[in-house]
Each structure stands twice: as structure tokens, then as C-alpha cells.
Amino acid sequence: MNIQITPTTWKHGKEWAYTVTYDEALTELFDHTVPLHEELGIPGHVEVVVGQMGQVRQIGNSSYNGYHHMGADRLRELIDMGWGVGNHSWSHGIVEENLDLEIRQAKQVLEEAIGQRVTVYTAPGSNANITPAITAALQESGYLCALSVTDDINRPDADLWFLNRASNLHQAWTPLFSAFDPHHRLMQAQRESGWVIDYCHCPAPSIPHESKDLYIDEHRARLHAVVESGGDEVWIATAEEILDYIVCRRHLQIEPAASGQESYRLRLRDLPVPVASRQVTVDIEVAPNLRRNPYIMLNGQPQPGLLVTGSALRATLDLSQPVTLSVGGSSQ
């Protein structure tokens, strides 16, 4: 075999990935946080308490009571800016008590409100809201993941039904109180090809709860640290985009197309229906004789091949349909 095809860990061959989540999807995000995102040109992700969309928050003794949950118009505005939207349950209570309402109906109502699929579930309160019964309900209802409140990066082989989120807080709480660090877990993600999903609520000049949030100047430093330390190596995207990619990568099947020829059939096998973006980036290791004037042949159509390392061509392929791939080059 003259060529070897490998999917890259992250789309476009990026080294690591980053998403920032804002639990509760508060309208007050538009005061300071959304403008910061616009300034930096990066998307965010909001987690919606579906039963209180468009209403003043009133949940138990929440420190955010009196704040405002975004309604459909605000959520759609964010989507138009490239943001993603997840389900933070219907009531922000005990999810297992009513799986149909908290998981299934919440998804339906939210999808109707925003005009888009919902594949992300973010556990409200604590990890007590990720149980085997909840995971089963999520899988049956067409979700692709569950976000927890465990502080860690997500490695390339992460369990999608218990994704970790990094503490992006002024002062994380008991038993090990810890202070804000704009570089928290970023070097670890770079080293281990990880995905950092930040956890916070509504960064602002004043915040009601220092263990659940951070000041806007700190958040500015955080996003700058991601952009600056990540450079061209970080993929900053919504949870939906990154999940689609991980699932596609895991379902990619590569087999020889025909005997005696250097061509391969690439397809996504048994891909879950909710996956919307079906693009996979592949690196194609080629022999030296194919590195001069290289091209990639997709379904018989030649495309320029980009030599990204000493020996590999890279291409991002749309695998909504299976494709046949071969590589050519000339020695002239």
C-alpha cells in the first residue's frame, strides 16, 4: 500500500478543541459577554431551562432569581451569530422524577423555539442529574451527549454521556477552594489533544455568586488565553459541531475500493441520525513520488492536495454519501 488514510482527532487537523458554555441562558449575557464574543469572533453555547424560556428566573433559592431567561428571539439571534443551544432540563430540578418532561418534551419545545435540532443535554445542579435512567432517556430521545460538572478536559476517546467541564469560576467551592486561572487546563488540552468545555453562567462586572461565576475582566482574560495560546492549533466551536465530528470520526470506515488499485472507499457506518455535519478531515500519508504536484481524486474528480506535514496530504471530506478516494502526483 502506497497511501495510508487516518482521520484527524479534531476537524481541520486542529490540535485541541474549546467550547464555552453559559448555563441558564440568561438575557443578561447580552450586556457584557455577547459583545466580548463578537469582539473576538468566537461562538459560545447556552444551556436553556426550557420550562422558563422568556421568563424571569424563579427556581428555588437560585442566586440568579430575578435575572431573565432568554426567549426564542434571543436564542435565535445567538444561533445566527454561530452559537449553539442545549437543554438544561425543563425545571432545573430532579430530572429522573419526570424524564418525559425534562428530557423528551423539553427537547421538542426547545427545537420548535429555536428552529434547530437539540443534541446537547447539560445536567442541572449536579452530576446527580446524570444517571443510567437519564442517559437511556437521552439516547432514546436523539441527544448525542450529556455535560457534567466534573472539572477535567475531554480526551479524544471521551465518554460522550459524561463529558467534563472545566471550572471557569472566580472561586471554585468546597472542599478544595480554588481561585481563577485564565490558563486553567489549556496546556493539558494542548498536550493530550483534549477538548475543554468551560463552565460558567453570566460573567459581568458584578456577579451574585463567586463560586458559580467569574467577573467579566477575568472572562476576557480567559478567552484571550484560549485564542492566544491556541493560535492556529485550537478549534473553537459549539458543542454540536464538535460532537458531530467526534461521532463521525468514530464511525468512519475505510476499505479498499477495488483490488489492484490504490483507491479507497470511505463511509460513515451506522451513524446516529441526529448527526448533522458529516465532514471528516483525513490525513493521507503518501510516498515521495506522490508529493510532487499532488492531487486527491474524489469520486473521479481531482482536487488539489495540501501537503501539511513532510509526508501527508490533508482534506476535509463531506461523507453524507460514501466517497471513493485515491491520490495522484507527477514526477515532472
DSSP state at residue 160:
T
Cell readout for 13 is 487537523
198 lies in the binding site for Zn ion (CB under 5 A): no
44 lies in the binding site for Zn ion (CB under 5 A): no
23 vs 241, which CB is nearer to Zn ion? 23
Q: How far is the CB of 89 from Zn ion (least distance, A)?
A: 8
Q: What single-letter amino acid sits at 254?
A: I
The Cα 220–Cα 216 span in angstroms is 6
Contact window for Zn ion (CB under 5 A) among 116-124, 163-171, 233-241, 244-252: 116-124
Contact window for Zn ion (CB under 5 A) among 122-130, 139-147, 255-263, 313-321: 122-130
Site size for Zn ion, by CB under 5 A?
A: 2
Q: How far is the CB of 201 from Zn ion (least distance, A)?
A: 7
The Cα 326–Cα 185 span in angstroms is 39
124 lies in the binding site for Zn ion (CB under 5 A): yes
CB 20 within 8 A of CB 64: no
59 vs 271, which CB is nearer to Zn ion? 59
Q: How far is the CB of 49 from Zn ion (least distance, A)?
A: 7
Contact window for Zn ion (CB under 5 A) among 31-39, 121-129, 222-230, 294-302: 121-129
For residue 253, what are the β-bridge partners?
A: 267
The Cα 286–Cα 280 span in angstroms is 19
126 vs 309, which CB is nearer to Zn ion? 126
> Nearest-CB residue to Zn ion?
23
Contact window for Zn ion (CB under 5 A) among 20-28, 51-59, 237-245, 254-262: 20-28
Of the candidates 283, 277, 269, 319, the one whose C-alpha atom is nearest the C-alpha of residue 298 is 319
φ, ψ of residue 243 in degrees (nearest 5): -65, -45
23 lies in the binding site for Zn ion (CB under 5 A): yes
Q: How far is the CB of 24 from Zn ion (least distance, A)?
A: 5
Burial degree of 326 (CB within 10 A; 0-12, 13-18, 19+): middle
Give me the residue label for grid cell 418525559. 100
Contact window for Zn ion (CB under 5 A) among 16-24, 99-107, 180-188, 323-331: 16-24
125 vs 156, which CB is nearer to Zn ion? 125
Helices (H) and strands (E) counted in the chain, each on its own, are 8, 19
50 vs 189, which CB is nearer to Zn ion? 50
Site for Zn ion in 249-268 (CB under 5 A): none
DSSP state at residue 203:
-
Of the candidates 98, 102, 121, the one whose C-alpha atom is nearest the C-alpha of residue 51 is 102
102 lies in the binding site for Zn ion (CB under 5 A): no
φ, ψ of residue 134 in degrees (nearest 5): -65, -45
Q: Which residues bind Zn ion (CB under 5 A)?
A: 23, 124
